[in-house]
Amino acid sequence: MPQKIWSLPKPKQHLLSLLISLFAMGAATGLAFMYYYVVPENSANIAMIYILALVLISRYTTGYRYGICCSLFAVVCVNYLFTYPYFQINFTLTGYPITFVGMSAITLLTSTMTSHLSRQAIAIAEREKLLADAEKEKMRANLLRAISHDLRTPLTGIIGNSSLYLENTALLSEKEKKEIVTNIYNDSNWLLNMVENLLAVTRIKGDNLSINTSLEPVEEVIAEALQKLHKRYPDTDIQATVPEEFLLLPMDAILIEQVIINLLENAVVHSGSKAPIELTVKDLGTIVSFSIKDYGKGIPVNHPEDLFSGSSYTPSQTADGHKGMGIGLSICKTIITSHHGTLTARNHEEGAEFIFTLPKNSL
C-alpha cells in the first residue's frame, strides 16, 4: 500500500490520505458508539478504538499532518461524545492532557516508522529494477554474441562448400559432390532452425516478457513437436511418456513446441549416443514438468545453469562448431520464464537431463 501512495502524483497522494483519514475516523466513531451502547460502564476502552484507527492512518497516509490532526480529533470525540458531561468539551478533566500526548506520541512514532519503511521499500524496488535492467542488458549482449556466432558459422560453411563445389566441379568425384551438398543441406537446416528460434522470440512482447496464452492440450503440443523433429532427424528414437489424464495448460503452443524441439535437438546433436531419448511429462499438482533425458556424455560444464546465459557454448570435443547450444537454450529459458515456469539442467549417472515446468494456472 505505501508504494502505491508514493507512486501517485502529490495531489492524488494527499487526496487519498484525506479519504483514508476520514474513513478511519468515521469507522472508529461508529465502532465507539456501538461499544458504548453495549458496554456503557467501561467507556475508557473507547480510546483504544481511536488509537487503532490512528495507527492505521499513520500507516497508510503520507507524512505526519493527517495523524496529528486525527489524534486531536480523536481526543475531542472521546471528550465530547463519551465522557460526562456529554456533548460538552472539558479538557480540565484529570488525565486528558496525558491522553492527548499519548495519542500524539503513538501517531508520531507510527508515522515515522511507516515513512521510513516506505522509503526503504522504494529504495529496494528501485535497486531491484536496476538489477533487472542490468540482467536484461547482459542477456541482450549475450544473445547478440551468440547470434553473431551461430549465424556466421553455418553461413561460412555454406559459402565455403558452395565455392568449393563451383570451382572444382570437374575435379570432384560423385562421392565428394554428395558430401559437399550434404554439408550445405545440413548447414541450411541449422540456419533455418536458428531463424525459427529468433522468430519465436518476436512472439514475446516487451521487457516484461508478456505473451498471449490459451489452454492447450499437452499431448497435442508434444505430438506436433515430435513430428517436426522427426522431419529433421528421421532416424532418432524418442520415447515419449505422458499422463493418462487429459492435461490442458495455459501456454503459447508455438513457443512451447519450439522449446521441446530445441531441447530434443540438443540431446540428438550433443549426447553422442544412439540410445533412445526419453521425453517424460509428469503432473505434479499445481505444475506440470517436462523432462528430456539422454544417455550420452552429459553436460561438460561445472555449472549447467550457465548454459542458459546466452553465450554460444560448444563443447571443445565437438567437431561441428556451428551447432552450439547457447542461443537455443537462452531462448528456451526466455520462453519458459515468460510462462512463469522454470528450466534447469543437470547430469545424471548416464547422461544429461533438461527439465522445465509450467504452472497449471495463469499468473
Distance of CA 308 to CAs 152, 202, 334, 344, Å?
A: 20, 18, 9, 9
Residue identified by cell 483519514 is 21
At 351, give phi and psi (nearest 5°).
165, -150
In a domain, 44, yes or no: yes
Show the cell assigned to 199.
Answer: 522468430
84 in any annotated domain:
yes
CATH of the domain at 251: 3.30.565.10
Same domain, 14 and 100: yes
What is the residue-level pLDDT of the chain in tens, covering all 363 positions? 334 444 556 677 778 888 888 898 888 888 888 888 887 766 667 778 887 888 787 777 776 677 778 877 887 787 778 777 777 776 666 555 676 666 667 666 766 777 677 778 778 888 888 887 777 677 666 666 666 666 777 788 889 889 988 888 888 888 888 999 988 988 887 787 777 767 766 666 555 566 788 999 999 999 999 998 888 888 889 999 999 899 999 998 888 988 998 899 888 888 888 899 999 999 998 999 999 999 988 887 665 666 776 554 444 444 344 455 556 787 888 889 888 899 999 888 888 999 999 999 865
243 and 98 assigned to the same domain: no
| Residue whose C-alpha cell reads 458504548 in the numeric block | 36
Q: Are 223 and 313 in the same domain?
A: yes
Q: How far apart are the first and last CA of the chain?
A: 21
Query: 180 lies in a domain?
Result: no
- Where among 130, 165, 185 does a domain terminate? 130
Residue type, 86: Y
How far apart, in whole angstroms, are the C-alpha atoms of residue 253 and residue 289?
16
Question: Which residue range is the domain that position 49 belongs to?
Answer: 2-130
DSSP assigned state of 275: S
Q: Hey, CA dihedral for 304, 308, 310, 312, is it positive or negative?
A: positive
Please state the domain count of the chain: 2
